[in-house]
Amino acid sequence: MRKFLTLLAALLIALPLSLPASAEQNPGQPPTLYAEAAILVDADTGQVLYQKNPDKKMYPASITKLMTCLIAMEEAQPDDVVTMTDEAVFAVPRDTTHIALTGGEQLTVEQLEYAMMVESANDAANGLAVHLAGSLEAFARRMNSRAAELGLQNTNFVNANGLPNTAHYTSARDMAVITREAYGHPEFRTLAGTTHYEIPPTNKQAETRRLNNRNYMFTLNDTYPGAFAGKVGWTEESGHTLVTLAERGGVTLICIVLHSDGVIDAQYIDSTNLFDYGFGAFSRTAVPASKIERREAPYTGADGGTLTASLAAEGEASVLLPAGTTADDLGVRYSIPDPLTPETAAEARAELVLPSPPGRMEEVVGTVPLALSLPQPETMPADAAPPEDGKGPLPMLLRWAGILGGVLLGLAVLLLAVRAVLRARYRKMRRRRRRVNRAAPPQARPRPRPETFIDVRTGKDAKDKIRIIDVEELK
């Protein structure tokens, strides 16, 4: 009875402390949190609406399982069969959360994923780790390798389940990146949002295992309207940690709170206030591509030559802006790699910046990729050799001159051919006439034609002078 009264008194004391934090929250003002670190992120774009110690290294506890789930979704099939090993089973202390898996027991990857995400079973996380990497240590290395691929700066994992270890830590910002990546898989919404799940009897277990989700943001009669998935965590070292996803009006937000303690259900109070702030104080705004001016930069091609490249945004950007703010209030900050090459061109981007953002909002509200375009080859001058494509005034003139020359040459050849034909016919006619004259009798031969001569002395006709013209002369 004494313990009961002590607990009741603690509840009565804590209740008034917890209520004002929610009741006095103004949707237009950033909340004051119990959490030591927190972040509120647009799940679609990664825009940060609220941050508190976002890069501080913190113990994550069981929200570590979000990374284990991400790798399992990427590298395994749901119906793959997993055989539990003694390593996976006995590495979990019996006083931590588990579902009493035993060595040699066989389950599917999907069943272990649900056991890990719904019941937060540490032995299920270990079973997936050994199945995917061969050992717990190898899977921890795989987790850190994936973290590096995601660009995480303040994360290091030593196990798949989140059990305490001084070398096992993350940050609110890094955990938001992991959650966004997992959210990109269609099955994540179900794995992280199922309230109850049953595992039928296995080769080692005769009874059905019934699992229950204890993320009260969405399991107690829809505690927060729109909340649909998440993961809880707790150890004495980490305090309460909580990841929650909620959707409202076409906007999906990710809320991360780390070491949220001080009152009962502080992690849920903090998360509720953050969601109220995100959905109440911000609205979706389209930023046209014309807002981002075209930029030019030196570009080094694969052949080592240098050109002046043009960089421009393609399409509009979607951002969340606080009330009373429009796209006209945004500035643009360009990030262009130096040197700009075929390998680095994809990194060129423009950042949309809101100067002096309200509350704990990050000033960069959006990032827009910049598309690269290279100049076309310049037209050659008129006195230069004609371009290969045959365009320009000089090539056209040369082409017409060639056509005219071809026509004239054709006419000349035609005239020469006609002349040759006529001369051949004329020679043929002369030869025929000769043959006829030689074969004809003398009387039939043409008689000589008299010619009249004038006597230069008398000026009279010299009729008596007759010139005999030989027939051969007529030919």
Position 441 scores a pLDDT of 60
Question: What is d(CA 140, CA 117) in angstroms, rounded to the nearest whole number?
Answer: 18
Across the beta sheet with 227-235, what order do the strands follow? 48-52, 35-42, 251-260, 239-248, 227-235
Compute the average pLDDT of residues 19-24. Answer: 42
Q: Annotated catalytic, 65? A: yes
Please list, residue by residue across 163-198, b when 16 or more beta carbons sit within 10 angstroms of its beta carbon and e when fewer do.
Answer: beeeebbbbbbbbbbbbbbbbeeeebeebbbbeebe
pLDDT tens digits along 172-210: 999 999 999 999 999 999 999 999 999 999 999 999 999
Structure tokens that stand for 123 in this block: 């032995």
At residue 241, what are phi and psi to the nearest 5 degrees?
-120, 150
* Burial group, residue 361, by CB count within 10 angstroms (0-12, 13-18, 19+): buried
Mean pLDDT of 273-296: 95
474 has pLDDT over 60 = no
Does the active-site annotation cover 57?
no
Say how far apart CA 301 and CA 310 lie, in whole Å.
Answer: 14
Q: Is residue 465's pLDDT more than 60?
A: no
Confidence of residue 102 (pLDDT cuts 50, 70, 90): very high
Lowest mean pLDDT across 106-115, 140-149, 215-224, 307-316: 215-224
Distance CA(40)–CA(257), nearest Å, equals: 9
Q: Which of 63-77, 105-119, 445-459 comes out lowest in average pLDDT?
A: 445-459
Average pLDDT over residues 431-451: 61
More confident: 9 or 190:
190
- Spell out the residues 6+ positions from residue 295 whose beta carbon is closer than 8 angstroms to its own: 310, 311, 312, 334, 336, 370
Residue 458: band (very low, low, confident or very high) from pLDDT cuts 50, 70, 90: low
Locate tokens 């802006």: which residue?
321
Between CA 199 and CA 187 the distance in angstroms is 18
Q: Which two tokens stand for residue 402?
A: 């060639």
Say which range, 157-161, 162-166, 344-348, 442-446, has the weakest mean pLDDT.
442-446
What mean pLDDT comes out for the span 41-55? Answer: 98
Would you state the pLDDT for residue 28? 76
Question: Of these residues, 22, 56, 57, 120, which one is catalytic?
Answer: 120
The one catalytic residue among 52, 65, 231, 291:
65
Residue 258, token pair as written in the block: 């780390």
Question: Average model confidence (pLDDT) for the chain?
Answer: 86
What is residue 314's predicted lDDT score, i.e. its pLDDT?
83
64-78, 249-263, 338-352, 387-401, range with the lowest pLDDT? 387-401
Buried b (16+ CB within 10 A) or exposed e, 339-355: ebeeeebeebbbbbbbe
User: Which tokens in the block code for residue 275?
Assistant: 């969601």
Q: Is the pLDDT of residue 78 over 60?
A: yes
Query: Which pLDDT does position 364 carry in this prediction?
Result: 95
CB 212 within 8 A of CB 181: no
In the prediction, which pLDDT does 426 show? 78
Show the tokens assigned to 298: 């030196």
62 tagged catalytic: yes
Instruction: Give yes or no for a cis peptide into 339 (omega within 30° of 0).
Output: yes
Average pLDDT over residues 438-458: 56
With 80 as the cut, is the pLDDT of residue 454 above it? no
Assign 9 a pLDDT band (cuts: 50, 70, 90): very low
Among 6-10, 269-273, 290-294, 457-461, where is mean pLDDT lowest?
6-10
In this prediction the pTM is 0.74
Q: What is the pLDDT of residue 399?
A: 75
For 63-76, the pLDDT digits (tens) are 999 999 999 999 99
Catalytic residue among 62, 171, 238, 260: 62
Band of the pLDDT at 448, cuts 50, 70, 90? low
Tell whether the model's pLDDT for residue 155 goes beyond 70.
Answer: yes
Please give the DSSP secondary-structure letter assigned to residue 58: B
Choice among 13-27, 132-146, 190-204, 414-428 with the minimum mean pLDDT: 13-27
Which of 276-285, 298-307, 406-415 is most confident?
276-285
pLDDT at 439: 64
Statement: residue 89 has pLDDT above 90: yes
Point out which residues pair with 107 in neighbouring strands.
82
Query: For 209-226, what is each residue's pLDDT tens digit?
Result: 999 999 999 987 668 999
Q: Give residue 307's pLDDT band: very low, low, confident or very high (50, 70, 90).
A: confident
Burial 423-437 (b: 16+ CB within 10 A, else e): eeeeeeeeeeeeeee
